[in-house]
Structure 1
Amino acid sequence: MNDPINMAQPPARTAFQLIPAIEHKGQKSVVSTVALDSNGQHLYVGTSDGQFEVYRISSSATDLRVVLGARRHVGKKAVAGICHLPAALRVAALIDGVVMLLDEQTLEGHPLPGIKGVSAMGVNAAGEALAVATRASKKAVRVLLYTIIAGSAAASSLTATALCFAQADIAETLLVKSVSFLGRRLVLCTARRYMLLEPKTGSYVELFGLPEDAPSPTAVIPISQAYQAMLVMDQVGIVVNGDGNPTQSALTFPSSPLCIAACGLFILCAGPDGVHVLDRAGGDEVQWMPYPDGLHPSPGQKIVAATSASSNCVVLAGFRKVWMYRPVALEEQARQLLQAGQYDQALQLANTCSLAGAPWAETAFAEAGFLLLQELRFTDAMQTLQRCSTSLFQPLELFPVFPTETHAWKGELPTKQYWGLHDPLTSLPTLLKARLNDEDAADAELITSLQDDAKRAVADYLLQVRNGEGVEAKDGIDTLIVLLLADLDRAAELEHFCGSSNSATVGQVEGRLRSHDRFLPLAALYAGAGQSSKALSIWQGLADGSLTESQADTSGTGPSHEDNRALALRQAAALLRDEERVETATALQCLPWLIAASPELALGLLEARALPEDEILDLLRSSSQALLLAFLQHLVSVQGTGREDLHTELALVLGQAALDLLPASDASSDQSPAITSDMVQHQGGAAAQPDGEVGTCSELLLQHRSSLQSLLETSDLYRIGPVLGQLRGTRLWQEQVILLRKVGDHLAALRILALVVGDMDAAEEYCGKHAGPDGFLTLLDMLLRPGDSRPPLFVEACHLLAAQGANLDPMRVLESLGEDMPLGLAFPTLARIQRERLHRRRHTSVIRSLNRSVGLAAATTRAEVMACRVVASEERACRICHSRVGSKMFAVYPNGVLACFKCFRSCHPSKCPVTGRQFDEMPMSSSEQWADLQLS
C-alpha cells in the first residue's frame, strides 16, 4: 500500500511573498537602516550620508506600490537606527550618537536635548516611550526613558516634546548594542551579555553571559505581539517572557544570522544562502527563499531588517535594494499544506490559530479530517473531526462511508463544500480500493484489518460526539453505532450502549444483532423502544436455554461478565418492576417462569410492584412454599395488610416451616421432657442434620421461630384457634404459651413453662405479668401437685416461696401446702414469711408515728407565725424606694427589712432586696427576726 504520509517532505507552503520595494540610486551612499510604521503603510530609509527618506506604501491583493513621500538631510554621518513614535507623530533617528526627533510627514525636527554618545535605542509596543542607551563613564552605561509628547517640532520649549521619566546606570564597560522593551522592563544587549532592567528602580539582573571567545554579533529581537523577546547568540535564539525566563526550547538557525525579524508566528533569519522562515513555537523551517538579484550579500556586507508592529510586513535591505516580505494569510498557508499532504503541519497551524480565535481553523480541521479519511488514517481523521463544532460539521456527514447501514437517512445529508480539497466521500470498500494498489487490494486479511480500523475509529468518534449540542439525525447515528459495535464484537460496549438511553432504530439493527447472536443488546433495545413483550420473550429464551448469547468480545478492555442467563433474568426482573412499561397482565404471564428460574428475583418483583394478591397467592401455593412465606411476610410486615386470612395463613405457614425443620424425634410432645430450654431444643435438632446442613438448618429454624413469635405477639388479626390447633402437641412450647396467654388459659401456659419446659424464671415472670395475684398461688399448687403421677417439686416450690413469699397471703400458702410437705424443708421459708409480716407491721407503725410528729411540729410553727404582729409608724420609709409608708400596705422580710407593697411585688419574696440574703437557704432564727421593729 502506498504511504506517502510517512515520507520526509520539504516545506510545502508559502509563508511570505517577496516583493521588490525600492532601489537606492545614490552613487556615494548606501542604505544603512530601515523601519516601518506601526501599520506598515510608511517605509523609513536611512542612508550612510545622513539622508532620511519616507515612502508611502499602497498594497492590494495582487500589487504593491512604494512612492517617495519626503526626503531630508538630517546629519553628516550614517543614520544608525530609526524608531517610529505614532503616539507623538514623530520618528526618532539615531545619527552619530544623537537622537533626532523628526516629524513623521515633513521630517523637520530637532535633537533630543542633553544626551550624546547614544549607542542604541528602542520604542515600546504602544509607540509612546523611547528608551535610549548611552555611555555615562568608562565603566558604566546609562539608560534613559522618555515620553514623547505630540506638538510642533519647532516649539521653543524642548521639554514640551520629550520628558525623561526614568534613568538607570549599569556597571558595564561595553557599549549597549540593542535595546528592547519587554512589558515594563527592558532587555539590554552588549557584545558579551544580556541584562534585564527595571527602569523605575534601577535594578537589573544578568540573563546570560558569553565568554570572550564566543562568536559575535549578539542581538535582542522584540516579539511585541506576544510581549516576548528573543535573545540571539550565534546560531541559537532563546525566547524569554517579561520575567526573563525562557518560554520554550531554544531555536536553532541554519547558520549564523546576518539579521533576524519576528513577524506573527514566524521568525525570519537572513543567512549567507538566503532567508529562512522558521516556526516561532517549534523552530521548524517552513519556507526558504533565496536572495533576489541585488540583495545577495557580499562578504562583510550588512543586511538590515524591520518589522511593523502589526506584523503585516517585513523589510530587508542591502546596500542598494530594499525588498518587502509580505506574509501570506494563515488560512491560505493551511490550505497549501493540506493540498501538499502535510497534514501534521497544517493541523499544528490550525490549532495555533484556533487558540487565537481564527474562524477558519474549524474548516481546516474538517478538511483535514476528510483528507485523512481518504488516506485511510482513520483514527487521525476522527480525532481531527472531533475538534469541529456541530455548527460546521455534522457527524451524519460520515454516513456515505457506510451507505448500507445509513440508507434510511440518505435524504438528510447536508451539502457542504468546505475548501473543496477532498473528493466526495464514498463507501468504505470504494475508499480502500481507491487507495490500495492491486497487490494490497487482493490481500483479504489487510482489507479486513483496514475495515475494522475504520469501523472502530468511526464508532469511537460517534460515541464521543453523539450527545453534543446541535447533533442532527441522532437516531441514524445511534443506529450506526449499534451496527459497528456488533460487527466489531465489542460486546461489553454494545450491551452498555443498548441498555442506556439511545435513539437507535430497532428495525434497522435487529437482523444484524440476531446474526451475531447478540440477544441481550437486542432485548435492551426492544425494552427501550417500548416493545416489552419482545424483550421479555428474548430474556425468557436466554433463561431457559432456547437462545444462546455469543461470548465473543474482542475489545479486551471491559470487565468479566456474569453468566448470560443470570444477566437476562436480572434485566427481565428490572423491566417487570416498571409498572409504566409493562402491563399487569404481562407481568402475571411472565411470573411463573421467573419463579422457576430465579425465586429471589421473583420475590423482588413481588415486593416492588403491586400485583393482585389473590392471584399471586394462588400461584405461590402451588409452586413455592418458601416464596409464599416471604410474600406473606412482605404483605403483613411491610405493607401492613389488615386482612385476617393473610395474618392467619402467615402464622400457619411459619409454624409449618418451623415444624418441618424440627428433627423427627422432637416433632411430637410424646417424648420425655428432658429438654429444658429452647436453645437446647435447637441444638438437639441441628445435631441430627448432616455436617454441611447443621448451621443452616439451625439458623433457619431460629429465624422462622423468631418471626412466628413476633407475629403471634404483635398481631391481633389472626385466628388463634387454627394456629393453636396446628402447634398443639409439638415442641414449639414458646409459641403455644403465647397463644394460650392470648386465649386466657394461664393454667395451661404455666404448666408448659413450669412442668414441661422446666423454666421457673419464665413461669414466675409470666405470673407477674399476666396471671394476676393468684397466679403465684396457682403456680405453687401446680408445683406441689403436678399430676400425671409426677412427684411434687418441693425444691422449686421453696424457691418460689423464697422469691415471692412476701407478696403471698400466709394463710393461703399454708392451705396450699399438703400434708406430705416436709416440715424441715418448708420451715425456713415459712419462718422468713412470718418475720417479714411482723417487720412490715412494726415498720408501718413507726412511719405512722413519725408522720404524726411532723404534722404537730408544723402546726406549732404556723401558730407562732400567725401570732406575730408588726407595728410601724407613718414616718417609716421603704428601704427600697425610700418613700414614706403612711397608710399604704407594706411587707416585712424575716430580717426586719420593711418595703412598700409595690416594691415587694417587684422583688423576689425569698430574697432580701437590701442585704441579698436568701431566706430559703439561710433561714432566720427567732432571735434575729424583726430586729429593727416593734413586736406586739
Structure 2
Amino acid sequence: MISFVHAQLGFLLLFDLRFEDAVNHFLLSETMQPSEIFPFIMPDPNRWSDLVPRKRYWGLHPPPKPLEEVIDDGLITIQQALFLKKAGVDTVVDEDFLSNPPSRADLLELAIRNIIRYLCASRMKDLSSPEMEGVDTFLMYLYRALDLVDDMEKLASSQNSCVVDELESLLDDSGHLRTLAFLYGSKGMCSKALSIWRILARNYSAGLWKDLSENGSSGTSVDKRSGEEIAAIEAANILKTSSDEDLVLEHLGWVADIDQELAIAILTSEMRESQLSPEKVVAAIDAEKVLIHQRYLQWLIEDQGCDDPHYHTSYALSLAKSVIEAVHMESKYRGKDNREIDSDAQKIYLLREKLQLFLQASDLYDPEDILDVIAESELWLEKAILYRKMGQENIVLQILALKLEDSEAAEQYCAEIGRDDAYIQLLGLYLDPQNGKEPMFTAAVRLLHNHGESLDPMQVLERLSADMPLQLASDTILRMLRARVHHHRQGQIVHNLSRATNLDARLTRLEERSRHVQLTDESICDSCRARLGTKLFVMYPDDSVVCYRCYRNQQGDSSSGRGRSSRKDVIFKQSWLVSR
C-alpha cells in the first residue's frame, strides 16, 4: 500500500512541477513501473503505448501527457495564482513559484534531468525486453534534448537496448554522428558504423568540423588526440574483431593513412574468429606503406607459422630494399648534424639486424632473388649468409676473410664445414688474396696457431708464400710439426696398449678353458640337481657346473646354472688383470 501511495504522490508532485520530489517518490515505490513515465516523454501512439499500465491512482491527477504540456499547464496555473494573489485570494500553488516564477526552459531542463535520474535507476531493475528497449531509447532521447554528448556516447558504446530505428534519423539530423556510430557498433551494424567513422575522419581532416583536441573543457589523454585519430581508433576497434574480409580491406586504407600502427593492429588481430586471406591482404596493402607490408609478413611468418616460400621471399626482399634505401638516403644527405647521423645509423643497424636474423633463420626464401637485389651493394654479411644457404663455401670464405676481414667468423665457418681442407683453403686466401691486395700474414699465423695441429704439414708448407717472413710462422710451424709427431707417437702407444690388452685377454681365456675340474660321486648339476657321475658336463665362468642335457636345453640363454647372466652380471676375477 505504501508503494501505491508513493506513486500517487509522485504523480501529484509531477503535475505541480516539483520534479525532484516526484522522482524521489517514484524511486521509493516498488509498484511503480518505468513504462508509466513513457507518455510524459513521447506522445501516444508510439511503439511502447501498449506497455503503459492503466492505473488510476484514485484519479487524483490528470492523465499523462508530454512534459512540455505539463509545464505549460503548470505555468498557466502559476500565472492564474499570481492574479488571484493580487486580488487577495489564496491558492494552493507553491509559494516559491509565486515569489520567483521559473522560466519554461529551466523547468523543462529540471524535469528532463530528473526523469533521466529515474530511467537510469530503472536500468538496474529486472525489466522485460520491450520495457528495457523503451527505457534505453527514451534515455537517449532525453540525453539528446539536453545535448549531453558524453552521456549519449557512453550509453551508445556500452551494452544497451536502444531501438536503432527510433534513433538513427534523430541522431543523424541533430549531427550526433559519433553517438550514432557507437550505437551502430554496439548493435553489430559494423558497415554503417565504419562508414560514419570514415566520414568523421574526412571532415576532421578537411577542417569542416572543430577538432576535439581544441576543446578547452577536455583534459584527458584521449581528448588530446585529434578527432581524426579518434575516428581511426574507433574504426580499428571494430575491424579488429571483424572476419569480413571485404569490409576490413575496404576501410584499411583510410585508417592506414591516419596511423599505420592501427592498420597493422587490424591485420594482425587475434580477436577475430577466422583470419583474413593473406593473398587478399597483401594485394590490398598500398605499395607505399612498406612498414605495414613488412610487419604483416613478419606476423604471418613468425606468429602464424606460414611456410609459403613466396611470403618468405617477399619479406626478405622488402627488408633488403629498405636497407638499401636507408643506406642510400644516409649517403645522399651528408650535411646532417651528429644527432641525425646517429639516428640514421641506428635505423640502418636495426634494419640490417632484422634482415640478417631472418636470412639465417629461414630456409624457405629464394636466395638468388635476394642476391639480385643486393648485388651492387656493400651488404657483405648478408651476401655471405645467402651464399652459405646456396652452399657456395669458397665465396663465403672470401667474403668473411677478405671483404669483412673477420678471421674469427671465417674460422668458425670452417669449423661448421668440418673438413680440414676448409682451413687449408682459408690459409690460401690469407696468403694470396688476389686483386692486388697485400697478403694477410697476421691472420694466417692466427689460423695456424689455432688449428695448425690438425692440418697436414705438407699442405701447409705448399701453401706458404715465399714472401712470408719466417719469423712470423716459424714458432707456429715448429709447434705444428711437433704436434704431428706427438700425435703419431701417441697413436702408436695407444695401438700397442690395445694389442697388449687383447693378447692378455686371449691368454686369460685360454687359461680358463684349460683349467682342471675335479668331480666326486656327490657332485650334482647346479640346474637340475641330478648327480653327474660320468655324464658330460659344462662349466661356466662363475664355477657353476651343469649337465650337458641342461646345457643343451639352455642354448641361447646366457644364464649359468646359478642364474647369473653373463651379459648383465659382469664376472671379474683378480687373475684376469693385465699383468704383462
Question: Which category describes the TM-score, using the shorter chain as reference length?
Answer: 0.7 to 0.9
Residue of structure 2 in register with 1:575 after alignment = 238
The whole-number CA distance in structure 2 between the counterparts of 1:366 and 1:894 is 108
**1:822–1:666 Cα change, 3 Å:** farther
The alpha-carbon distance between structure 1 residues 380 and 884, as it changes in their structure 2 partners (threshold 3 A), is farther
Contact 1:518 1:550 in 2 (8 A): no
Q: Map Cα deviations across residues 727-760 of structure 1 (whole Å, 9 max, x no partner).
A: 1232211101011222333222222211221110
How far apart are 1:828 and its partner, in Å?
A: 0.9
Amino acid at match of 1:754: A
- The alpha carbon displacement at 1:463 in A equals 3.4
2:403 alignment partner in structure 1? 756
| 1:535-934 mapped onto 2 (5 Å cutoff) | 535-544=193-202, 545=204, 546-547=208-209, 561=223, 563=225, 564-579=227-242, 583-608=244-269, 610-611=275-276, 613=278, 616-662=281-327, 690=337, 693=340, 696-770=343-417, 772-866=419-513, 867=515, 869=517, 871=519, 874=522, 909=564
Quick check: 1:460 aligned with 2:120?
A: yes
Instruction: Supply the AA of the counterpart residue of 2:132.
Output: K
Report if the CA contact (8 A) 1:783-1:794 is conserved.
Answer: yes
**CA distance change for structure 1 residues 519 and 620 in 2, over 3 Å: closer, same or farther?**
same
* Structure 1 pair 551–834 and aligned structure 2 pair: CA distance change class (3 A): closer
CA distance in 1 between counterparts of 2:377 and 2:177 reads 53
Further displaced range: 765-774 or 821-830: 765-774
Amino acid at match of 1:649: S
Counterpart of 2:93 in structure 1 is none
Shift of 1:547: 4.9
Paired residues of 2:27 and 2:118 also in contact (CA < 8 A): no
Q: Partners in 2 of 1:534 and 1:479 — Cα distance?
A: 19
| Partner Cα distance (2:38, 2:262) in 1 | 42
Specify the alignment match of 1:476 in structure 2: 134
The answer (yes or no) to whether the contact 2:34–2:119 under 8 Å persists in 1 is: no
After superposition, what is the alpha-carbon deviation per residue over 1:842-897, rounded to whole angstroms, capped at 9, x for unaligned? 1111111222222233334434444363646549899xxxx976579999996999
Task: Please list every run of 5 or more consecutive structure 1 residues that lacks an aligned counterpart in the other structure.
Answer: 1-330, 335-361, 668-684, 911-918, 927-936
Shift of 1:464: 2.7
Q: Which has the higher helix share?
A: 2
Judged with a 3 Å threshold, the aligned counterparts in structure 2 of structure 1 residues 885 and 368 are, in CA distance, closer, same or farther, namely farther
Do the aligned residues in 1 keep the contact of 2:152 with 2:179 (CA within 8 Å)?
yes
Cα distance, 1:447–1:868 mapped onto 2, change above 3 Å: farther
Measure how far apart 1:578 and its partner are.
Answer: 4.2
Deviation digits for residues 110-160 of structure 1, max 9, x if unmatched?
A: xxxxxxxxxxxxxxxxxxxxxxxxxxxxxxxxxxxxxxxxxxxxxxxxxxx
Counterparts of 1:145-224 in structure 2, within 5 Å, are: none
- Partner Cα distance (1:428, 1:770) in 2: 91
Q: Is the 8 Å Cα contact of residues 478 and 503 (structure 1) preserved in structure 2?
A: yes
Q: For residues 320-335 of structure 1, what are the structure 2 equivalents within 5 Å? A: 331=1, 334=2
- Which one of the candidate residues 417, 427, 437 is aligned to 2:66? 427
Shift of 1:456: 3.3
Higher mean alpha-carbon deviation, 713-722 vs 436-445, is at 436-445
Residues 665-706 of structure 1: CA deviation (Å, up to 9, x unaligned) = 769xxxxxxxxxxxxxxxxx9x98545545653443233223
Q: 2:143 aligns with which of 479, 485, 490?
A: 485
**Aligned-pair CA distance for 1:634:** 3.4
Q: Does 1:495 align with 2:153?
A: yes
Over 3 Å counting, the alpha-carbon distance change for 1:737 and 1:875 in structure 2 is closer
1:838–1:423 distance in 2 versus 1, CA, 3 Å = same
How far did residue 435 of structure 1 move?
5.7
Distance 1:897 1:619, change over 3 A: closer
The AA in structure 1 aligned to 2:316 is A
| Mapping of residues 390-429 of structure 1, within 5 Å | 392-404=31-43, 407-417=46-56, 423-429=62-68
The offset of 1:785, in angstroms, is: 1.1
Mapped to 1, the partners of 2:560 and 2:234 lie a distance apart of 80
Aligned length: 532
% same residue: 29
Residues 771 and 399 of structure 1: CA distance in aligned 2, closer, same or farther (over 3 Å): same
**Secondary structure in structure 1 of the residue aligned to 2:48:** helix
The one-letter amino acid of 1:504's match is C
Note the C-alpha offset of 1:607: 2.7
SS at 2:484's partner residue?
helix
Note closer, same or farther for the CA distance 1:446–1:777 as it changes in structure 2 (3 Å cut).
Answer: same
Residues 27-76 of structure 1: per-residue CA shift (max 9 Å, x gap): xxxxxxxxxxxxxxxxxxxxxxxxxxxxxxxxxxxxxxxxxxxxxxxxxx
Q: Which amino acid aligns with 2:118?
A: V
AA paired with 1:798? V
What value does the CA root-mean-square deviation take over the aligned residues? Answer: 4.4
Alpha-carbon distance between aligned partners in 1 of 2:427 and 2:538, rounded to the nearest angstrom: 71
Q: Matched residues in 2 for 1:742 and 1:892: separation?
A: 60
Instruction: Note if contact 2:544-2:560 (Cα within 8 Å) is conserved in structure 1.
Output: no
Tell whether the 8 Å contact from 1:876 to 1:885 is kept in structure 2 after alignment. Answer: yes
Q: Which amino acid aligns with 1:525?
A: L
Match of 2:192 in 1: 534
Distance in 2 of aligned mates of 1:587 and 1:749: 45
- Bigger drift between 775-784 and 546-555 goes to 546-555
Q: Which runs of 5+ in 2 are unaligned?
A: 80-97, 576-580
The 1:542/1:636 distance shift into structure 2, 3 A limit, reads same
Using a 3 Å threshold, how does the CA distance of structure 1 residues 838 and 622 change in structure 2: closer, same or farther?
closer
Q: 2: distance between equivalents of 1:481 and 1:895?
A: 104
Where do 1:217-232 residues align within 5 Å?
none
Which protein has the bigger strand share? 1
Opposite residue 566 of structure 1, the aligned amino acid is: E
After TM superposition, give the deviation of residue 540 of structure 1 in Å: 1.2
Give the distance between the partners of 2:517 and 2:13, measured in 1 at CA.
119
Change (3 A) 1:696 1:459: farther
Q: Which moved more, 1:758-767 or 1:367-376?
A: 367-376
Q: CA deviation at 1:369?
A: 4.7
State the Cα deviation string for residues 240-260 of structure 1 (Å, max 9, x = none): xxxxxxxxxxxxxxxxxxxxx
Instruction: Report the alpha carbon displacement of residue 620 of structure 1 after superposing the two structures with TM.
Output: 3.4
What does residue range 217-256 of structure 1 map to in structure 2 within 5 Å?
none
Name the amino acid aligned to 1:407: N
Mapped to 1, the partners of 2:56 and 2:380 lie a distance apart of 91
Rounded to whole Å, the distance in 2 between the matches of 1:653 and 1:778 is 35
TM-score when normalising by structure 2: 0.77
Q: Aligned with 1:407: secondary structure?
A: coil
TM-score (normalised: structure 1): 0.50
Q: 1:459 to 1:710 in 2, by over 3 A?
A: same
Contact map agreement 2:453 2:481 (CA 8 A) in 1:
no
- Which amino acid is 2:383 matched to? Q
Per-residue displacement from partner, 1:410-461 (whole Å, max 9, x unpaired)? 2332223466665543332344456663345553464245234324323422
Q: For the residues of structure 1 that align with 2:458 and 2:220, how far apart are their CA atoms?
A: 86
C-alpha spacing 1:522/1:632, structure 2 compared with 1 (3 Å): same
